[in-house]
């Protein structure tokens, strides 16, 4: 009787286990298309054994009491999860930069048919036509109009880039809101999982799927590390800071970087510390190139940029050659001027020490440039583009209104060098006043020169200061036009895109455009000023960046500049696609392990159905036997 009851309960256990298997299989099939769902598997174990005695060899004899469903587990691989989240995070980093750069590329007209290259060539063409008829008001007006079109186009592009840079604040806010939302979701799932699994009876698999999906998505936005506590709570560390704990979510907020800019940055709400380090070089080896938010912030940069943000490598002074100091001996021969040569050597030594100091400053600036400018695609474009415009503007202005250095005394009587208009070489206009010192381009808030009367040291043809019999400098009082130089700390003093305009005086009267050689009766020959204006378009004026060595002309510079944007965009696109493919491959491998196969689940469905039917038939047989025994007496 007892054995029959035991057998009856064994049959019941078969029915229970088969039903649990059917339930797990049906759950899998109903979620075959559910994003983030992990296949669930029922694990069966033996129930208990009854001791019934010993055999003839003295071994214990046990009778099994059936099986039971021990647990319904998720089929997930932690290694695949960690690998996928790292790769998708790296994909997000390059995707953020690529999206930003792809928008910028269209602003330069190469895809719109209104290339900025045409604006540069327009000035060149106008200069060539003006060289044929320098006295023509029509040709002069064409040059001025082409220059105005050049400035307008440059300012329009720069303004659009600046506006787009500002608009990226919205994307930063959106990314921060998404990160906070995912963090809150993980926190809520932690509470539900902890409560559901507190009894130790079952696993909260569906809650875990939701949490894992949130971790997958969060890893694309920001670099995370995570660990699961024994109570099922996952703690998340984002960018090295506790983000989700068992007790709270350390949310991210945004604030302006400084009072001087409207750019925002994400900071931790609890401490106010920066979430992302934006001004550090990132690389694959250190796993610092992870997270869409970081990629977005680095692409945007912290502020606008201009040509002054590009460090210029100082020119190394040349040691004076003895052959340059051979002078006439008055008898048809030459003698070595040792006094002048020794003075030149002394000057070289002074200049060389200054060069070493400037080189050290350049190297320091170069590190800052690489971290804060070159790392940002938008700031690099702004600074490089402004450098081109600055080169064109100052190149033309320095021919129309050339400068030189003279020596005077400051208020304390100390000799100082100042820059003034070189009236001996400055060309003049064809107006009645023979106007000189007017550049084609002006700074909106600062004149090119300030007229002053100063004591100036007289010099010879080589620029050497003349002295009297006692060795004192020979000074003369002169009214000079002191050049208001560019000061990187004063934006209004710079010939930068946002501060330049066409000289209003020239707009009012084209005849004052200084094209005539000074002191020769108005010679407009091509070999004069016009030759200089034409010649600067064929001379290299600077490199594309301080990290390159190849100098370019204006036209070559812009071609290289656009090519560099394209190359950088292609590199970012390739990196994005490569990382996307890598993340997809890892996810496919992960899905092969955790994903639901309808064919496999249908096979399991049939298996558990047959198992259930077999258990039911076994139960019926035992039940019939028990009924027979009970009704026999």
Tokens linked to 380:
């690099």
For the chain, what percentages of helix, strand and coil (3-state, to nearest 5) are there? 50, 15, 30
Q: Which residue has the tokens 């694959």?
A: 284
C-alpha 505/C-alpha 485 separation (Å) is 20
| pLDDT band, residue 183 (cuts 50/70/90) | very high
Angle at 389 between CA 167 and CA 98, to 5 degrees: 35
State the pLDDT at residue 333. Answer: 81
In the chain, what percentage of residues exceed pLDDT 90? 45
| pLDDT band, residue 216 (cuts 50/70/90) | very high
C-alpha 71/C-alpha 20 separation (Å) is 10
Query: Quick check: 307 pLDDT over 90?
Result: yes
State the pLDDT at residue 430. Answer: 86
C-alpha 470/C-alpha 472 separation (Å) is 6
State the pLDDT at residue 462. Answer: 64
What are the CA-CA distances from residue 427 to residues 4, 462, 521, 527 (Å)? 122, 21, 11, 13
C-alpha 57/C-alpha 52 separation (Å) is 14
State the pLDDT at residue 111. Answer: 43
C-alpha 584/C-alpha 56 separation (Å) is 63
Least confident of 81-85, 91-95, 389-393, 592-596: 592-596
Query: Quick check: 632 pLDDT over 80?
Result: no
State the pLDDT at residue 113. Answer: 44
Tokens linked to 250:
């350390």
What value does the mean pLDDT take over residues 204-210? 88
State the pLDDT at residue 329. Answer: 76
State the pLDDT at residue 281. Answer: 57
Greatest mean pLDDT among 83-97, 110-124, 189-203, 422-436 lies in: 83-97
pTM of the prediction?
Answer: 0.83
* Under 8 Å between Cβ of 384 and 310: yes
Greatest mean pLDDT among 98-112, 316-330, 610-624 lies in: 316-330
Among the listed residues 316, 311, 312, the one whose alpha carbon sits nearest the alpha carbon of residue 351: 316
Tokens linked to 134:
């320098």
C-alpha 326/C-alpha 338 separation (Å) is 9
State the pLDDT at residue 110. Answer: 53
C-alpha 429/C-alpha 56 separation (Å) is 129
Least confident of 84-88, 450-454, 596-600: 596-600
State the pLDDT at residue 104. Answer: 83
State the pLDDT at residue 202. Answer: 76
* Under 8 Å between Cβ of 297 and 276: yes
What is the average pLDDT value for the chain, to the nearest integer? 86
Contacts 24+ apart (CB under 8 A), 516-521: 516/134, 516/427, 516/428, 516/429, 516/430, 516/434, 517/427, 518/423, 518/424, 518/425, 518/426, 518/427, 518/428, 518/436
State the pLDDT at residue 1. Answer: 44
List residues bridging with 408 in a β-sheet: 416
Beta-carbon contacts of 158 under 8 Å, excluding residues fewer than 6 positions away, are: 382, 385, 386, 497, 498
More confident residue, 521 or 87: 87
* Under 8 Å between Cβ of 371 and 280: yes
Largest CA distance in the chain: 157
First to last CA, the chain: 13
C-alpha 190/C-alpha 510 separation (Å) is 76
Among the listed residues 300, 308, 316, 380, the one whose alpha carbon sits nearest the alpha carbon of residue 544: 380
C-alpha 523/C-alpha 529 separation (Å) is 9
| pLDDT band, residue 278 (cuts 50/70/90) | low
Least confident of 218-227, 272-281, 374-383: 272-281
State the pLDDT at residue 470. Answer: 74
Beta-carbon contacts of 534 under 8 Å, excluding residues fewer than 6 positions away, are: 127, 128, 131, 526
Tokens linked to 240:
């090295």
Contacts 24+ apart (CB under 8 A), 590-593: 590/77, 590/80, 590/81, 590/84, 593/75, 593/76, 593/77, 593/80
* φ, ψ for residue 252, nearest 5 deg: -105, 140
What's the pLDDT tens digit per position in 434-451? 899 999 999 999 999 999
What's the pLDDT tens digit per position in 228-269? 998 889 999 999 999 999 999 999 999 999 888 889 999 999
Greatest mean pLDDT among 24-28, 320-324, 614-618 lies in: 320-324
What are the CA-CA distances from residue 377 to residues 62, 380, 585 (Å)? 75, 5, 29
State the pLDDT at residue 279. Answer: 54
State the pLDDT at residue 282. Answer: 63
State the pLDDT at residue 526. Answer: 40
* Under 8 Å between Cβ of 322 and 338: no
Greatest mean pLDDT among 38-47, 468-477, 482-491, 591-600 lies in: 482-491
What value does the mean pLDDT take over residues 387-414? 90
């Amino acid at each position: 009787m007892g054995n029959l009851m035991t057998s009856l309960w064994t049959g019941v256990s078969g029915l229970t286990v088969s039903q649990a298997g059917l339930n797990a299989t049906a759950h899998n099939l109903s979620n075959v298309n559910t994003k983030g769902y992990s296949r669930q598997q029922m694990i069966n174990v033996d129930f208990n054994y009854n001791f019934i005695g010993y055999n003839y060899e003295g071994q214990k004899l046990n009778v099994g009491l059936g099986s039971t469903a021990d647990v319904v587990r998720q089929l997930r691989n932690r290694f695949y999860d960690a690998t996928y989240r790292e790769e998708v995070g790296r994909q997000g980093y390059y995707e953020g930069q690529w999206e930003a750069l792809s928008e910028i590329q269209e602003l330069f007209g190469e895809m719109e048919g209104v290339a900025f290259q045409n604006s540069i060539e327009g000035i060149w063409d106008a200069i060539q036509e003006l060289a044929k008829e320098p006295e023509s008001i029509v040709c002069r007006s064409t040059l001025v109009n082409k220059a105005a079109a050049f400035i307008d186009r440059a300012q329009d592009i720069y303004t659009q880039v600046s506006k787009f840079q500002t608009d990226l604040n919205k994307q930063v806010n959106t990314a921060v809101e998404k990160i906070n939302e995912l963090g809150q979701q993980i926190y809520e799932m932690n509470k539900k999982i902890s409560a559901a699994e507190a009894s130790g009876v079952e696993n909260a698999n569906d809650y875990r799927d939701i949490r894992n999906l949130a971790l997958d998505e969060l890893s694309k936005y920001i670099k995370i590390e995570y660990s699961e506590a024994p109570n099922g709570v996952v703690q998340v560390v984002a960018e090295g800071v506790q983000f989700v704990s068992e007790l709270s979510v350390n949310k991210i907020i945004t604030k302006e970087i400084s009072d001087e800019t409207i750019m925002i940055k994400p900071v931790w709400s609890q401490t106010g510390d920066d979430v992302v380090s934006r001004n550090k070089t990132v690389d694959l080896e250190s796993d610092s190139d992870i997270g869409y938010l970081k990629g977005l912030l680095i692409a945007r940069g912290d502020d606008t940029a201009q040509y002054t943000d590009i460090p210029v490598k100082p020119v190394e002074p040349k040691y004076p050659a003895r052959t340059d100091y051979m002078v006439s001996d008055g008898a048809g021969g030459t003698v070595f001027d040792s006094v002048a040569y020794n003075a030149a050597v002394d000057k070289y030594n002074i200049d060389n020490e200054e060069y070493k100091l400037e080189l050290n400053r350049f190297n320091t600036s170069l590190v800052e440039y690489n971290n804060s400018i070159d790392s940002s695609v938008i700031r690099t474009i702004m600074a490089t583009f402004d450098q081109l415009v600055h080169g064109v503007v100052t190149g033309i202005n320095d021919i129309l209104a050339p400068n030189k250095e003279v020596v005077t005394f400051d208020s304390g009587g100390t000799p100082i060098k100042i820059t003034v208009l070189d009236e001996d070489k400055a060309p003049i206009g064809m107006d009645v006043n023979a106007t000189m010192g007017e550049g084609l381009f002006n700074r909106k808030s600062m004149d090119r020169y300030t007229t002053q009367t100063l004591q100036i040291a007289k010099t010879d043809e080589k620029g050497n200061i003349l002295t009297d019999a006692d060795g004192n400098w020979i000074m003369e009082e002169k009214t000079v036009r002191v050049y208001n130089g560019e000061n990187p700390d004063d934006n209004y003093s710079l010939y930068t895109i946002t501060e330049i305009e066409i000289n209003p005086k020239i707009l009012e009267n084209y005849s004052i455009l200084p094209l005539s050689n000074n002191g020769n009766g108005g010679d407009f020959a091509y070999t004069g000023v016009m030759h200089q204006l034409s010649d600067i378009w064929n001379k290299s004026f600077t490199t594309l960046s301080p990290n390159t060595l190849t100098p370019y002309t204006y036209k070559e510079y812009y071609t290289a500049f656009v090519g560099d944007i394209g190359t950088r965009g292609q590199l970012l696109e390739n990196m994005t696609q490569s990382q996307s493919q890598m993340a997809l491959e890892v996810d496919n491998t992960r899905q092969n392990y955790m994903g639901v196969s309808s064919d496999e689940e249908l096979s399991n469905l049939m298996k558990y159905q047959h198992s259930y039917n077999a258990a039911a038939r076994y139960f019926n047989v035992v039940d019939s036997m028990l009924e027979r025994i009970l009704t026999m007496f």
